């Protein structure tokens, strides 16, 4: 059991870092110190107390990454209640379902999300609050929430007649074994489950961040991933707040152009991102440079190639703000070509592995210990094994056990038993191997694995990684037709087509050449019979993984 109490981590940080900047809105420049943040939390605690909110009560939160979102989250968990963070990209019907399924008593949300919801579909909510100014948007018949909100400043002054001081910070006495968060998954299978995360699970992730270079007092952090997702919540937010870092909320669609400008201004000390964003920056910023004839020629000349690669490394580090210790990539498989290039130029990056059910971290290694092709080393507070009957160490399902593993799925015992066995092993659904140093190597998902004509295991993700490196391929999915033959769905790189003046007829010829090239570098049973062009970007989860289940029957 982790000895640090999850709730008390906040109490200590707010007192210790009282005068330091905590939260900044990138768009408006609004900034809260840790002391100002603690004062807003104290007001929220008075509200919860007046509404007789209990420790086991659930409170839902859905909205953009803003200081108000962060203050609300911290207010709920430090009061001792259970927070239900909901991804703002969820459909309104999904939000209705999650709020109801989680038994939430209150809901805090962005105004634009409120416009899309129907209060009659949320019959058990006592009150709904705006994240813009915390006004009560809706209260259940018989409630006096709006009246309480009008008197909140007076109640605050009465509670703290000498003003609010850091000595006044006293948060809930709540055991680490108790439920802290219900985080509904946004997986690629189309079925969302409420992951029950304890204070111990979160303290395990946060304190691991303390023991690495993932946080530090006064660190500058630029957060652009959705904080309702376990990865960003743990390391862009909770770990940073509990150690006195300064978080800037981008609150914009993180296109490469917007991100690079923000990196230049904020100059973050550590960066947490997903593969898709790095791959886009690589394609837009690096590949055009490498494709220049003179550069291609120079890269084949000893010594000169190292000088050029060193210059590219300097430019890329500068593009990310120039002051970061490392760039941490997680949330989805990483493109091999991009990873190989970053390794070649000795760029300070690493790839981690986790899942919502582990709040989220399973494996990680600092960039100077990272083994290329892996997803890091199993954490020292976790165990890992490969469920395989092959004595030669053939790939099998990755199973993990330890401090970070969830207690189960909320009100779903059947789903819990399907992934958590009697010995406490969580069956991740990922297929992979581990080496003697406990580095994890992932080959694909159990649910996406396909069988070849002679029973061979085919991992579509591995084929997709190769196809994605070929000309004019922006995104792709490998699936099967009715006859069992493999096919590829490709969303083409429209920007590259425009720049090269390539039309649809030429594109079809290029894709046929891509198919032949791909088949020349894959096993015979992995060969694809046809490439179909897809007209739109593939629909993705908030962590930018393609929702594969939507496209499995396209070729059938």
320: nearest Cα among 347, 356, 339: 347
Give strand ranges (E) for 141-241: 179-184, 194-198, 220-223
Listed as ranges, residues in the chain with pLDDT below 70 are 186-191, 294, 297-299, 303-304, 389-393, 451-456, 542-543, 553-556
Q: Supply the pLDDT for residue 57.
A: 98
Cβ atoms of 515 and 531 closer than 8 Å: yes
What residues does CATH 3.30.300.30 cover in the chain?
A: 450-550
Q: Supply the pLDDT for residue 298.
A: 65
Both tokens of 108, joined, read: 């805090």
What residues does CATH 3.40.50.12780 cover in the chain?
A: 6-200, 271-323+326-445
Q: What is the rounded distance in angstroms from the CA atom of residue 20 to the CA atom of residue 23?
A: 10
Q: What is the rounded distance in angstroms from the CA atom of residue 507 to the CA atom of residue 503?
A: 6
Phi-psi region of 134 (alpha: psi -120 to 50; beta: other; left: phi over 0): left
Q: Are strands 127-130 and 136-139 parallel, antiparallel or unpaired?
A: antiparallel
DSSP assignment of 454-498: TS-EE-HHHHHHHHTTSTTEEEEEEEE-TTS-EEEEEEE-HHHHH
Q: Supply the pLDDT for residue 473.
A: 93
CATH number of 6-200: 3.40.50.12780, 3.40.50.620, 3.90.1150.10, 3.90.230.10? 3.40.50.12780
Residue 228 buriedness (CB in 10 A; 0-12 / 13-18 / 19+): buried
Cα angle, residue 404 at apex, residues 398 and 408 outer, rounded to 5°: 80
Give strand ranges (E) for 230-300: 246-249, 271-273
Helix (H, G, I), strand (E, B) or coil at 522: coil
Q: Supply the pLDDT for residue 461.
A: 84
pTM comes to 0.84
Cβ atoms of 410 and 182 closer than 8 Å: yes
- pLDDT tens for each residue of 318-367: 999 999 999 999 987 788 888 999 999 999 999 999 999 999 999 999 99
Q: Supply the pLDDT for residue 500.
A: 87
Per-residue H/E/C for 248-261: EECCCCCCHHHHHH
What 8-state DSSP symbol labels residue 335?
A: P
Q: What is the rounded distance in angstroms from the CA atom of residue 555 to the CA atom of residue 483?
A: 10
Q: What is the rounded distance in angstroms from the CA atom of residue 388 to the CA atom of residue 391?
A: 8
450: nearest Cα among 486, 398, 399, 477: 486
Both tokens of 316, joined, read: 């890329």
Q: What is the rounded distance in angstroms from the CA atom of residue 184 to the CA atom of residue 87?
A: 8
Q: Which CATH architecture has domain 271-323+326-445?
A: 3-Layer(aba) Sandwich (3.40)
Domain 450-550 has CATH 3.30.300.30: yes
Q: Supply the pLDDT for residue 391.
A: 46
What 8-state DSSP symbol labels residue 229?
A: S
Backbone phi, psi, residue 510, to 5°? -65, -40
């Amino acid at each position: 059991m982790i000895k640090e109490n999850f709730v008390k981590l906040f109490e200590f940080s707010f007192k210790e870092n009282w005068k330091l900047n905590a939260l900044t809105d990138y768009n408006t420049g609004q900034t809260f110190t840790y002391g100002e943040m603690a004062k807003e939390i104290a007001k929220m605690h008075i509200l919860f107390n007046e509404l007789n909110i209990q420790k086991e009560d659930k409170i839902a939160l859905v909205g953009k990454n803003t200081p108000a979102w962060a203050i609300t989250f911290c207010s709920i968990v430090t009061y001792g209640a259970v927070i239900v963070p909901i991804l703002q990209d969820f459909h309104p019907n999904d939000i209705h379902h999650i709020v109801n399924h989680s038994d939430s008593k209150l809901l805090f949300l962005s105004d634009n999300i409120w416009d899309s919801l129907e209060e009659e579909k949320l019959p058990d909510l006592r009150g709904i609050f705006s994240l813009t100014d915390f006004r009560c948007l809706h209260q259940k018949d018989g409630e006096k929430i709006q009246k309480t909100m009008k008197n909140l400043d007076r109640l605050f002054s009465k509670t703290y007649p000498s003003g609010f001081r850091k000595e006044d910070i006293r948060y809930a006495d709540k055991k680490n074994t108790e439920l802290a968060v219900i985080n509904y998954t946004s997986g690629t299978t189309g079925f969302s489950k409420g992951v029950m995360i304890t204070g111990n699970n979160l303290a395990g992730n946060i304190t691991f961040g303390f023991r690495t270079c993932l946080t530090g007092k006064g660190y500058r952090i630029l957060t652009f991933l959705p904080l309702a997702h376990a990865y960003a919540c743990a390391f862009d937010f909770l770990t940073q707040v509990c150690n006195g870092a300064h978080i800037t909320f981008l609150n914009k669609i993180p296109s490469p152009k917007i991100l690079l400008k923000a990196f230049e201004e904020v100059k973050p000390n550590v960066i947490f991102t997903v593969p898709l964003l790095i791959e886009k920056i690589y394609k837009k910023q690096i590949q055009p440079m490498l494709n220049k004839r003179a550069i291609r020629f120079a890269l084949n000349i000893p010594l000169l190639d190292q000088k050029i690669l060193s210059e590219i490394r300097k430019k890329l580090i500068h593009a990310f703000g120039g002051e970061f210790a490392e760039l941490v990539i997680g949330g989805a498989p990483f493109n091999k070509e991009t990873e190989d290039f970053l390794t070649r130029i000795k760029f300070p990056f690493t790839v981690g592995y986790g899942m919502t059910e582990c709040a989220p971290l399973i494996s990680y290694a600092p960039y100077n210990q990272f083994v290329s092709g892996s997803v890091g080393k199993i954490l020292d507070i976790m165990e890992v094994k490969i469920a395989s009957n092959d004595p030669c160490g053939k790939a099998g399902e990755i199973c993990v056990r330890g401090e970070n593993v969830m207690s189960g799925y909320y009100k779903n015992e059947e789903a819990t038993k399907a992934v958590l066995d009697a010995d406490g092993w969580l069956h991740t659904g990922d297929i992979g191997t581990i080496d003697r140093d406990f580095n994890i190597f992932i080959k694909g998902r159990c649910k996406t694995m396909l069988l070849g004509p002679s029973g061979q295991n085919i991992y579509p993700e591995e084929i997709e990684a190769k196809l994605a490196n070929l000309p004019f391929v922006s995104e792709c999915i490998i699936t099967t037709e009715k006859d069992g033959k493999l096919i590829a769905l490709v969303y083409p790189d429209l920007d590259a087509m425009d720049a090269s003046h390539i039309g649809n007829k030429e594109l079809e010829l290029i894709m046929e050449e891509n198919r032949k090239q791909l088949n020349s570098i894959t096993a015979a049973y992995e060969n694809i019979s046809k490439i179909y062009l897809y007209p739109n970007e593939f629909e993705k989860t908030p962590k930018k993984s393609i929702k594969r289940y939507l496209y499995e029957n396209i070729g059938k």
